[in-house]
Structure 1
Amino acid sequence: MHTATTRAADDLLRDGYARISLHDDGKHLLDRVLGESRSFFGRPVREKARYASTDLNFGYRPQGREFAISADRPDLNDCFTLWHDRLELIPNSAEIPALTGALLAWRECLSAIVSDTVGEVAAQLGGHKAPPFEAASYLQLNNYAVADSDRDLLQDKHEDGHLVTVIHTTAPGLELWLDGEARPMQTAADEVILMPGSVFTDLSGGRVPALYHQVRNLRLADRTALMYFVNPELTEPVYSWAAEPGQTPVDLRDKIRSNPAMFGLPDVPTL
Structure 2
Amino acid sequence: MVNLLSDCIAANGETAKNYVFPPERRPPTSGKVDIPIIDLQEENSTKHILNAIQDFGVFQVINHGVSKDIISEAMKVFKEVFELPPEEKSKINMKEDINQFCRIYSSSYNFDSEKIHYWRDVLKHHCSPLEECINFWPQKPEKYREKVGTYVTALKDLGSRILGFISQGIGLEKEYFANELSEDNNLIVNHYPPCPNPSLTLGLTKHSDPNLITILQAVPLHVPGLELFKDGQWLSVSTVPDAFVVFVGNQLQVVSNGELKAGVHRVRNASEARTSAAFFINPSNECIVEPAKELVQAENNPPLYKAFKYEDFFKVYTGQEGDRHTILEDFGFKIKP
TM-score range, shorter chain: 0.7 to 0.9
Select which of 14, 31, 54 maps to 2:96. Answer: 54
User: In the alignment, which residue of structure 2 is the partner of 1:261?
Assistant: 319
Deviations 1:92-111 (A, max 9, x none): 64733622222221112222
User: In the alignment, which residue of structure 2 is the partner of 1:116?
Assistant: 161
SS of equivalent residue, structure 2 residue 106: coil
User: In the alignment, which residue of structure 2 is the partner of 1:223?
Assistant: 274
Q: What one-letter code is carried by the residue in structure 2 that aligns with 1:260?
A: T
User: In the alignment, which residue of structure 2 is the partner of 1:233?
Assistant: 284
Answer yes or no: is 1:103 the counterpart of 2:144.
Answer: no
**Higher Cα Rg, which structure:** 2
Select which of 129, 142, 151 maps to 2:190. Answer: 142
CA distance in 1, matches of 2:269, 2:120: 11
Q: Which runs of 5+ in 1 are unaligned?
A: 265-271
User: In the alignment, which residue of structure 2 is the partner of 1:82?
Assistant: 125
Q: What one-letter code is carried by the residue in structure 2 that aligns with 1:35?
A: K
Q: What one-letter code is carried by the residue in structure 1 that aligns with 2:218?
A: T
Select which of 12, 21, 29 maps to 2:62. Answer: 21
Answer yes or no: is 1:191 the counterpart of 2:234.
Answer: no
CA contact (8 A) 1:20 1:194 kept: yes
Number of aligned positions between the proteins:
262
CA distance in 2, matches of 1:102, 1:134: 23
User: In the alignment, which residue of structure 1 is the partner of 2:38?
Assistant: none
Q: What one-letter code is carried by the residue in structure 2 that aligns with 1:203?
A: V
Among the aligned pairs, what percent are the same residue? Answer: 20
Instruction: Identify if the C-alpha distance between structure 1 residues 8 and 21 changes in structure 2 by more than 3 Å, giving closer, same or farther.
Output: same
Answer yes or no: is 1:130 the counterpart of 2:188.
Answer: no
CA shift at 1:167, angstroms? 0.8
Q: What one-letter code is carried by the residue in structure 1 that aligns with 2:268?
A: R
CA distance in 2, matches of 1:118, 1:189: 23
Q: What one-letter code is carried by the residue in structure 2 that aligns with 1:111?
A: K
Q: Flag the structure with higher helix content.
A: 1
User: In the alignment, which residue of structure 1 is the partner of 2:75?
Assistant: 34
SS of equivalent residue, structure 2 residue 203: strand
SS of equivalent residue, structure 1 residue 168: strand
Moved more, 54-63 or 233-242: 233-242
Select which of 40, 43, 46 maps to 1:2. Answer: 43
SS of equivalent residue, structure 1 residue 153: coil
SS of equivalent residue, structure 2 residue 61: strand
TM-score by length of structure 2 reads 0.68
Q: What one-letter code is carried by the residue in structure 1 that aligns with 2:266?
A: Q
Instruction: Identify if the C-alpha distance between structure 1 residues 176 and 108 changes in structure 2 by more than 3 Å, giving closer, same or farther.
Output: same
